[in-house]
Chains A and B, each alone.
Chain A
Amino acid sequence: MTEELTTKRTSQWKDVWLQFKTHRGAVIGMIVFSIICFLVAFGPWFWTLDPNYIDIRAKNQGPSFLHPMGTDQLGRDTFSNLLAGGRVSLLVGVTAMALSVLFGTLIGVISGFFKRLDGPLMRLTDLFLALPLLPLLLVMIMLFRDTLRGLFGPETGIFILIVSAIGLTSWMPIARIVRGDVLAVKEREFVLAARSLGTHNTQMITRHILPNVMSPIMVSATLSVAAAIITESALSFLGLGFPSDFPTWGRLLYDSTNFMKLSPERVIYPGLAISLTVLSVNYIGDGLRDALDPRIRGR
């Protein structure tokens, strides 16, 4: 009798996975995203051509055995550039996501949990939502580019700048969602029970509130990776991202638009890489949203 019960019990995460598997787009997205991550992470070990190696005699070549995606106007290998660019783009996406989720969760939990801070923090969120984000991002990069370059070197400086600028301008939706959920969870009986046992505020938040608002945070985190990748490529595309010898997908796209007549396929590769990544991440987020919603999961 007891054995039967224990074999039937499935963990929550197994349920989530079972529901996730039924979402076809999410599974395909997961596979595509894993392939992209794998290629980007381990590709440079197998494809050892240096992305910055200039071979001017082999410039503007079409696809060949030596260069499967051809070469650019300075004879650099497009494929290895794409792999190296993917590392930066994905790293920017994940780091900016971490930053905005951190801000968003912090502000959301504080304003949902402490009634006194709710008003001011939500007004602050409203004000941030009223800012014109893309123009402000551009302005921030214009203003702080040289200083940060001087402080941390050209690549790390721009990386820090772009990641923190994206993080600072994308936490608001997460904060709103988290606040709403915290407000709902706070009224539940188990919180009252924990409170009457004498649980301290910090423990209350970390042990009881946070685990129960994890699912919207996870969904927003996934979707904000996609948004951050798009923002970074847009900045690079406008010429305000990383320096041009430091490839990212947006930068590669921007550089190859000047050679559209000569080698149109060079535009396609980085654009396709960005689009596939963002599409698969968005699908994963979609599937995750369904899988983490217990109302849908039962069906």
Chain B
Amino acid sequence: MLKYTIRRLIFTVPVLLFISLVIFLLLDLAPSDPTGNLPMTVPPEVREQIRLALGLGEPMYWRYLMWCNQFFIIEPLNIIEQAWGFCWGDCENRTRVMSWATRSPVVDLIIERTPQTLWVVGMSYVVGIIIAIPIGVISAYRQYSWFDQTGTFIAMVGFSVPTFFTGVLLIVIFSTLIPTDSIFWLPSIYDTTHKVTDWDSFIFQIRQILMPVFVLALYNAAQISRFMRASMLDNLSLDYVRTARAKGMKERVVLLVHVLRNSLIPVVTVLALNIPHVFGGAIITEQVFKVNGLGALLILGIEGADIPLVQTLTFIFAILIVLFNLIADVLYGILDPRIRYD
């Protein structure tokens, strides 16, 4: 198992290098000029100096190496030092990736925005799983019943209706049609400066997180319940289920102990694989509910042509995908002994 994990870990290195190269080249070869947004009155010589100051005069491979060095070595060092408060080497003058638009270190911006995204995305994922697994189990156990048919239809709808429409629809219903003083009224804008101090502010936090979480949870639950149903159906027809029943096990034990545990193996890996995509999907939901999380930061960077910010964020999304692919593979090996390669 350890050998397999290590081999898998080593394989992520070329993947990460490839992705960093793609992101770097995409932004570097693109015909957009970082000085393009400057006023027309800036003379060409000054423009050239600005370009040189940004390091654009160096050959491309050198810039790529410098970027990798900055991203993989210097910035992690900065984060570690900030977190534990010690200084190792020349920590005062170490370079940082600066955002062109806000003139502050990109990493600080990202750290500032991460909690909001994690709250909304994490909550929605948990809620989605809690809804989806019972639905998947019952749908599979009572295949082709009215429950299964309804579940299939709702899953299809949840899968097909884009989150930006469900979100807007909920806002129309709960924020504009319902009067503001009603208890069913929900705020359409997520206020990230809100702090939970007492019971009332806690209730407000619940109310404002309800809609974004529900929108994302519906979308996630639609997918997960399908996986759960398919996986349960695969297992229900196997011999060990018949054996368990023949031994005189209660139906509840057969279903919830024998079948559910085995069916969860592929579902757990799918859950791990899907987490990065949920982050991607959250870009849209954040935009709908004006949550100022990572997705909103990315959109802000793209609208302002803030290349360092966009580069870093895209690469962080890529790292998430690679990381969770790795976690899914290792989890699959741990949970299912038949998968192990060694």
Contact = CB atoms under 8 A, between A and B. Distances in A.
B280 A133 contact: yes
A271 B165 contact: yes
Interface stretch (A54-62, A103-111, A278-286): A278-286
Given A267-B169, A275-B162, A127 B284 contact: no
A250 B168 CA distance: 12
Contacts of B22: 131
A147 B156 CA distance: 39
Interface string B27-38: 100111000000
A62 to B, nearest CB: 15
Interface majority SS (helix, strand, loop, mixed), chain A: helix
A199 interface: no
Contacts of B31: 143-144, 146-147
B299 interface: yes
A130 B15 contact: yes
A279 B27 contact: no
B160 A144 contact: no
Contacts of B172: 260, 264, 267-268
Contacts of B325: 130
A181 to B, nearest CB: 20
Given A130-B325, A233-B162, A261 B176 contact: yes
Interface majority SS (helix, strand, loop, mixed), chain B: helix
Contact of A132 (B156, B161, B303, B318): B318
A147 B164 CA distance: 29
B293 interface: no
A140 interface: yes
Nearest to B28: A143
A142 B310 contact: yes
Contact of A279 (B156, B171, B303): B156
A135 B313 contact: yes
Question: Which of A138, A139, A237, A239 counts the most chain B CB atoms within 10 A?
Answer: A139
B299 A138 contact: yes
Interface in B251-304: 276, 280-281, 283-284, 287-288, 298-299, 302-303
Given A143-B30, A271-B168, A278-B160, A130 B284 contact: no
Contacts, number: 123
B169 A271 contact: yes
B168 A282 contact: no
A238 B286 CA distance: 10
B15 A127 contact: yes
B164 A253 contact: yes
A137 B31 CA distance: 16
B227 to A, nearest CB: 16
A134 interface: yes
A238 B299 contact: yes
B5 interface: no
Interface in A229-277: 230, 233-234, 237-240, 250, 253, 257, 260-261, 264, 267-268, 271-272, 274-275
B74 interface: no
A278 B299 CA distance: 25
Interface of A: 25, 126-127, 130-136, 138-140, 142-144, 146-147, 226, 230, 233-234, 237-240, 250, 253, 257, 260-261, 264, 267-268, 271-272, 274-275, 278-279, 282-283, 286
Given A271-B164, A279-B156, 12 more contacts: A25-B156, A132-B318, A135-B298, A138-B302, A139-B314, A143-B26, A264-B177, A268-B169, A271-B168, A274-B165, A275-B165, A279-B160
29 contacts: A126-B15, A130-B19, A130-B318, A131-B22, A132-B314, A134-B283, A135-B283, A135-B313, A136-B26, A138-B299, A139-B314, A143-B26, A143-B27, A143-B32, A144-B31, A146-B32, A253-B165, A257-B168, A260-B172, A260-B175, A260-B176, A264-B176, A267-B169, A272-B165, A275-B160, A275-B165, A279-B156, A279-B157, A283-B156
